[in-house]
Amino acid sequence: MNNDRISCKQNTHKTDLSLEIAGIAMKNPVMVASGTFGFGREYSEFIDINNLGAIVTKGLTFLPKEGNPPPRTYETPGGMLNSVGLENPGVENFIKKEMPYLNSLSIPVIVNIDGDTVNEYYKIAKRLDNVKNISALEINISCPNVKQGGMAFGQDPQNAYEVVKAVKEGTNLPIIVKLSPNVTKVEKIAEAAVSAGADAISLINTLLGMAIDIYEKKPVFYRTFAGLSGPAVKPVALRMVWQVYDAVDVPIIGMGGIFTWQDAIEFILAGASAVAVGTANFVEPQAPEKIVAGIEHYLKEQFEENIRLNDIIGLAHKANID
Amino acid sequence: MNNDRISCKQNTHKTDLSLEIAGIAMKNPVMVASGTFGFGREYSEFIDINNLGAIVTKGLTFLPKEGNPPPRTYETPGGMLNSVGLENPGVENFIKKEMPYLNSLSIPVIVNIDGDTVNEYYKIAKRLDNVKNISALEINISCPNVKQGGMAFGQDPQNAYEVVKAVKEGTNLPIIVKLSPNVTKVEKIAEAAVSAGADAISLINTLLGMAIDIYEKKPVFYRTFAGLSGPAVKPVALRMVWQVYDAVDVPIIGMGGIFTWQDAIEFILAGASAVAVGTANFVEPQAPEKIVAGIEHYLKEQFEENIRLNDIIGLAHKANID
Amino acid sequence: MAKLRFFADIVMNREIAMDIFHMKLYCPMAAKLAIPGQFLHMRCSDTLSPLLRRPISIANADERDGTLDIIYRVVGEGTRLLSAKKTGESIDIMGPLGNGYPIDQKVNRIAIIGGGIGTCPLMFLAKKLATKNSKSGNLVKHSVFLGFKTAKQSFGIEFFQSLGYDVHISTDDGSLGFKGFPTDLIQDYIFDVIYACGPKPLLAIMQAYAVRHNIMSFVSLEERMACGIGACLGCAVKMKSDGYKKVCKDGPVFELSKVIF
Amino acid sequence: MAKLRFFADIVMNREIAMDIFHMKLYCPMAAKLAIPGQFLHMRCSDTLSPLLRRPISIANADERDGTLDIIYRVVGEGTRLLSAKKTGESIDIMGPLGNGYPIDQKVNRIAIIGGGIGTCPLMFLAKKLATKNSKSGNLVKHSVFLGFKTAKQSFGIEFFQSLGYDVHISTDDGSLGFKGFPTDLIQDYIFDVIYACGPKPLLAIMQAYAVRHNIMSFVSLEERMACGIGACLGCAVKMKSDGYKKVCKDGPVFELSKVIF
Ligand SMILES: Cc1cc2nc3c(=O)[nH]c(=O)nc-3n(C[C@H](O)[C@H](O)[C@H](O)COP(=O)(O)OP(=O)(O)OC[C@H]3O[C@@H](n4cnc5c(N)ncnc54)[C@H](O)[C@@H]3O)c2cc1C
Ligand SMILES: Cc1cc2nc3c(=O)[nH]c(=O)nc-3n(C[C@H](O)[C@H](O)[C@H](O)COP(=O)(O)OP(=O)(O)OC[C@H]3O[C@@H](n4cnc5c(N)ncnc54)[C@H](O)[C@@H]3O)c2cc1C
Ligand SMILES: Cc1cc2nc3c(=O)[nH]c(=O)nc-3n(C[C@H](O)[C@H](O)[C@H](O)COP(=O)(O)O)c2cc1C
Ligand SMILES: Cc1cc2nc3c(=O)[nH]c(=O)nc-3n(C[C@H](O)[C@H](O)[C@H](O)COP(=O)(O)O)c2cc1C
Ligand code: FES
Ligand code: FES
């Protein structure tokens, strides 16, 4: 596979974690996953957000969305289910109330967008196109917790193609397409997204799961199904990153169960140019910062001087070929 | 949905756990999952196997199979990956060396079968057709750990249909079809299997996952991918049982991460007539026995007298409709 | 920028009633910041099981000796692991989190009403109110109404008494005090402000009562939490207007009249 | 039908060398059944993390006082949790499992060779061999070759000496005994039977040595395990003929000459 998916700005440090994905310049490859970090503000009491590679916002819809009735979260072995249902202030309120804070950050801001229809995706993209300080859009075609749209777009290559195409028409911003793991062949969806113009692929969104309250004798969640995330899903996420790396030539942002720097390295060796930390934030707010430090340490310990992050992306595929 | 998927033999006890699935009479709904219980002998030093509802053997191929190189197992958060690769003695050795012990048990014996080709499935089914004391065949169209066949049959409705059809031609034994969770719409595969004559559906087999050794910088497993099982996958398994229950009218055997009786009850309320315990056996050999006791206790505590297991299968679907 | 995340030393952890534990933590910074109604988001294990943190109310905080108290009931895996922790171990906490009870009202007659483990945040509240009243020279007697399942699970009674409150007790089985619910007892009195915490049925009755008598009331709510700080939108509770609020960030204390039960 | 599953009481659990712990368990039935080379399959936590059991060799068993000893190195989550267990707690074990070393050979010169934590099963073996020899009046001196990373991680030396063995020590860094590997030391001697346990490179060298000198040799192998009893086929090890064997059931002890490394 190719090594030039990301171009690294070389600097004088021995280990250079900086990279550029789809035109987004990041000082390290560790982002936070959409929906697990609000619009950033809340975690500023726990970490220095400017230490992250990039921030990804909670999913936005065109109009405000109230979200699902409680309960919205439920713990499972090694993971959790969520059914937030894309509660969000809508694109206008976002621009008015959240962008000012995001503008104050020195790191790239990636806005996660979601729609019920292809046209809604188009409209949000268009509206965000001329907003300053947005580095890229992440198209969520994989949300399992809404009545319409969401995951359905991510389960069929043709649907995925159309959404991406529409967003491309609405904006000049780089486009990251976020895939659903609830498919037979994730690489087919990735290929469709890339052929429609995706500049990068992110995966995985949550696995579709559920829980039943055995005393109430009914599903825990109002919408019956909910999204599974956390360490439990890591082996599946890693496998899908591997498959997509073999299938497409755009950079991959890997996520799903990343808790430690060792997890992050697994994703990078499998083919992810960057990683995103989701559920782990809830348990260990410093997880992203610790992961940055761990990656740096790993590079220094395991490779010769002047190694670039770039050099180890997808490295495990080569071992495999031998 | 219908209540007559299973017919319960009423007896004088207050809680009657006995049931009949696809013509297999079981004294309780707790089975063990294929590949986690060998051919039964090993666990006889830890539990009284005759207390189980039924035993399901390790997957059999027509000829002996050596299996995959080590490592074959790997622990993950709340679960494990395996890549055994269907090591088994082949159908003739099975009949000669393993059936005598299985004959000595008083519970139904279900034989799990696997093939590289449709014809191999047919041949095994035919060979086992006239072997005494086999209660049913479970067709594994979902093994992720072999080079050919296996899961590929379970990821496409047409392929699934053909395998089941062929097995039906080879045998008069009841047929359970074991589905792969690595699909976009599991209910479509279930429908295909039923239309080809499946008498019952079992699910889920393992989720396709992987792990990378960050110091060796290569995949942990020789075949790169491996199968994820254990509590981590339970929410996904439960969701799929729910979906298949809504789609087909044959009994369902639910499995995937069942550890406690509470887990088993969740599956039953979601629509499983019986459950199978897999990975949990490794950790808690008495898990199946404890689950039987727990189900009995739950029925007594939560329902009025004379409740039958039958009455609560899929119960959570009704709550949902209200 | 205060980082609200600490590794606190466990000074004490012992069973004070059936399945109810009292843990004292040494954590000067958190003790200094804490106000009644806030909670700690606690990691119960350093493994991945259980995964998420557990929210537990602050039952007391002593700024001078730098300690925080929590009182919790063992109900599942997380609280079971908490109860197994030993003096001298340290524990990973986020907090104090949430908004806390407003206590600046100039009022005469205060009622505090709690059910079971809901008593915990009310203890800290009672202490702050008592301090405030003694400072302001306000000597009006305030009332506390507490309900427990059974005598064996009761706790905190002497604490409220020692602060000078008029304490009314009920138990479901009549093994201590009135047989019934604390809401049965309160119906005879009238107050200027009510502070409540407890199971939903209790709170729903109190809501009706407060609306009927037009009493300003504050309630601390519970909901399943992931982040505990307002980032995941996981702990939604529906309000009569304004849609969903977050228990962890907008609450856990809300105006009782606004909540939909 | 013996049920090989017990809740054993922890009699002792303490660090005996850097990161190396010695745990003594009270479990009369298992102590009675155990033979050298067998292992216990231990649940390190009563939560789901870590999920699987961990195989640990039996380092000693005393039928009279009903105890078993294990010695383990803290390398990951499971062994870390083991090391945190306290006297008086109980622990869930399956065992004794596996086949054990054959010790019925009528031989004069025995070599025991171990590397690091591989020393553990050899301790129990040495004790059994010593008992057998003293019973049979066989007074030939047997040799033990042990290799450790560094002096601080060494253990068991006095144990072998007290049993009357001729003990040869090496360390990777020369901080104790010979600087190098135990395989360097053994090259000067000739034996009738060799018992080995340790890292793969050590075993591979020993295989070459044993084949060259045509010495009957037994080795205890390690492989990742799920069930530990032969049911999952997870712990495969390739043999020169006969395909894969199961370390847990067919082993962990194998004839050294038959193993493919
Ligand atoms: C703001 C707030 C303050 C609280 N204060 C106290 C207190 O002072 N003392 C006390 O004993 N308990 C208190 N609780 C309840 C306490 O959080 C739960 O009892 C605890 O999380 C149960 O965890 P577990 O692992 O033992 O139980 P499990 O049932 O195994 O927990 C499973 C999951 O459900 C969640 N959960 C279970 N019960 C509750 C609940 N009642 N509310 C919210 N989430 C729940 C857990 O956090 C966990 O994510 C408070 C809850 C909230 C939201
Ligand atoms: C038959 C047998 C006897 C053993 N006897 C001893 C002993 O007496 N003392 C001792 O310290 N160690 C012994 N080991 C190794 C011991 O099992 C591992 O060190 C231990 O499982 C590590 O668990 P962990 O959770 O601390 O490490 P982790 O690396 O976190 O474990 C992750 C997984 O890998 C497996 N694993 C890790 N290392 C090994 C290994 N070397 N062999 C097999 N599986 C491994 C674990 O069992 C677990 O499933 C023995 C292994 C076997 C197979
Ligand atoms: C509470 C919660 C809310 C989420 N909301 C969104 C969202 O709005 N948009 C989106 O694309 N993904 C959303 N996700 C998915 C995560 O971004 C991420 O893809 C997933 O959780 C897997 O990563 P993890 O295992 O590290 O959490 C959400 C996940 C959680 C747990
Ligand atoms: C080690 C191992 C071997 C397995 N072998 C088979 C097999 O031969 N045939 C089969 O149909 N399923 C096989 N499975 C899948 C299980 O039967 C079961 O479907 C899966 O593990 C999910 O259940 P669990 O989470 O309870 O383990 C195997 C699973 C494991 C862990
Ligand atoms: S728990 Fe995350 S927003 Fe309240
Ligand atoms: S560990 Fe299961 S067969 Fe050896």
Q: Look at the alpha carbons of C135, C136, C142, C145 in this order and tell me if their dihedral is positive or negative.
A: negative
**DSSP letters spanning chain D:** ----EEEEEEEEEEEEETTEEEEEEE-HHHHHH--TT-EEEE---SSSSS-S-EEEE--EEETTTTEEEEEEE--SHHHHHHHT--TT-EEEEEEEES---------S-EEEEEEGGGHHHHHHHHHHHHHHHHHHT--PPPEEEEEESSGGG---HHHHHHTT-EEEEEETTSSSSEES-HHHHHTT---SEEEEES-HHHHHHHHHHHHHHT-EEEEE-----SSSSSSS--SEEEBSSSSEEETTTT-SEEEGGGB--
B209 within domain boundaries: yes
Task: Please give the tally of structural domains in chain B.
Answer: 1
Average pLDDT, integer, range A49-71 = 96
Q: Which spans in chain C are helix H?
A: 28-33, 77-83, 119-136, 157-162, 182-186, 200-213
Closest-CA residue, ligand 3 atom 10, reads A34
Domain range spanning residue B105? 15-317
Cis peptide bond prior to A204, omega within 30° of 0 = yes
Cα of C212 vs centre of ligand 4, distance in Å, is: 60
Confidence of residue D132 (pLDDT cuts 50, 70, 90): confident
Give residue-wise pLDDT tens across range C42-57: 999 999 999 999 999 9
- Listed by number, the residues of chain B in 214-243 with a beta carbon closer than 8 Å to a beta carbon of chain A are 214-219, 224-226, 228, 230-236, 238-239, 242
Of B38, B58, B78, the CB nearest to D51: B78
The average confidence (pLDDT) of chain A is: 92
The per-residue b/e assignment along A30-59, b for 16 or more CB within 10 angstroms, e otherwise, is bbbbbbbbbbbbbbeebbebebbbbbbbbb
**pLDDT for the residue A3:** 39
Closest-CA residue, ligand 3 atom 29, reads A35
Confidence of residue A13 (pLDDT cuts 50, 70, 90): very low
B188 within domain boundaries: yes
The least confident of A80-89, A306-315, B312-321, D58-67 is B312-321
B91 within domain boundaries: yes
**What Rg value do the Cα atoms of chain D yield, rounded?**
18
B99 within domain boundaries: yes
Give residue-wise pLDDT tens across range C19-45: 999 999 999 999 999 999 999 999 999
**pLDDT for the residue B148:** 64
Please, are residues B296 and B51 in contact by the beta-carbon 8 Å criterion? Answer: no
Distance linking the first and last C-alpha atoms of chain B: 14
Cα of C95 vs centre of ligand 3, distance in Å, is: 24
Q: Does A259 reach chain C within 8 Å, measured CB to CB? A: yes
**pLDDT for the residue D109:** 87
Percent of chain D at pLDDT above 90? 80
Percent of chain A at pLDDT above 90? 87
**pLDDT for the residue B143:** 75
* Among B180, B118, B170, CA closest to B148: B118
**DSSP letters spanning A90-116:** HHHHIIIIIHHHHHT-SS-EEEEE--S
**What Rg value do the Cα atoms of chain C yield, rounded?**
18
Please, are residues B269 and A212 in contact by the beta-carbon 8 Å criterion? Answer: yes
Q: Which spans in chain B are helix H?
A: 90-93, 99-103, 118-129, 157-170, 186-195, 234-247, 261-270, 280-283, 287-302, 309-312, 315-321
**pLDDT for the residue B229:** 98
Q: Residues near B168 by Cβ (< 8 Å), separated by ≥ 6?
A: B175, B196, B197
B232 within domain boundaries: yes
pTM, two decimal places = 0.95
Asked if residue B6 has pLDDT above 50, the reply is no
- At A201, list the tokens: 């692929």
B277: β partners = B32
B6 within domain boundaries: no
Ligand 5 nearest-atom number relative to CA C226? 1
Asked if residue D68 has pLDDT above 70, the reply is yes
The average confidence (pLDDT) of chain B is: 92
A3 within domain boundaries: no
Confidence of residue A14 (pLDDT cuts 50, 70, 90): low
Average pLDDT, integer, range C112-141 = 84
The 10 Å Cβ neighbour count of residue C99 is 17
Cα of D134 vs centre of ligand 1, distance in Å, is: 63
Tokens 């991406």, residue located: A164
Rounded to 5 degrees, φ, ψ at B215 are: -90, -40
Asked if residue A321 has pLDDT above 70, the reply is no
Q: Quick check: helix, strand or coil at residue B306?
A: coil
Q: Look at the alpha carbons of B238, B244, B246, B252 in this order and tell me if their dihedral is positive or negative.
A: negative
The residues of B that are catalytic are 143
Confidence of residue C108 (pLDDT cuts 50, 70, 90): confident
**pLDDT for the residue D153:** 95
The least confident of D68-77, D103-112, D204-213 is D103-112
What are the distances in angstroms from CA C64 to CA C29, C31, C32, C61, C67?
11, 9, 8, 9, 8
How far apart (Å, rounded) are the C-alpha atoms in residues C94 and C75? 21
**pLDDT for the residue B9:** 41
**pLDDT for the residue A11:** 41
Asked if residue B15 has pLDDT above 80, the reply is no
ipTM for the whole complex: 0.95
Tell me if residue A143 is catalytic.
yes
Asked if residue A1 has pLDDT above 70, the reply is no
- Listed by number, the residues of chain C in 48-107 with a beta carbon closer than 8 Å to a beta carbon of chain A are 48-53, 94
All structural domains of chain D? 5-97 (2.40.30.10), 110-220 (3.40.50.80)
How far apart (Å, rounded) are the C-alpha atoms in residues D253 and D261? 14
**pLDDT for the residue A177:** 97
**pLDDT for the residue C136:** 65
CA distance C48 to chain D (A): 6
B196 within domain boundaries: yes
What are the distances in angstroms from CA B217 to CA A251, A264, A265, B77, D50?
20, 13, 9, 20, 24
Residue of B158, B183, B212 for testing the chain A interface, max A β-carbons within 10 Å: B212
**pLDDT for the residue C1:** 43
Q: Does B77 reach chain A within 8 Å, measured CB to CB? A: yes
Residue A46's CATH number: 3.20.20.70
C15: β partners = C21
Q: Residues near B52 by Cβ (< 8 Å), separated by ≥ 6?
A: B28, B30, B31, B32, B107, B288, B289, B292
**pLDDT for the residue D40:** 98
Tokens 């801001």, residue located: A109
Give residue-wise pLDDT tens across range A215-250: 999 999 999 999 999 999 999 999 999 999 999 999
How far apart (Å, rounded) are the C-alpha atoms in residues B315 and D186? 69
Give residue-wise pLDDT tens across range D133-152: 776 666 557 899 999 999 99
CB B281 to CB D227 under 8 A?
yes
* Among C104, C99, C120, C109, CA closest to C196: C120
Single-letter residue type at D195:
Y
Average pLDDT, integer, range A113-127 = 94
Give residue-wise pLDDT tens across range B224-238: 999 999 999 999 999
The average confidence (pLDDT) of chain C is: 92
The least confident of B138-147, C159-168, D135-144 is D135-144
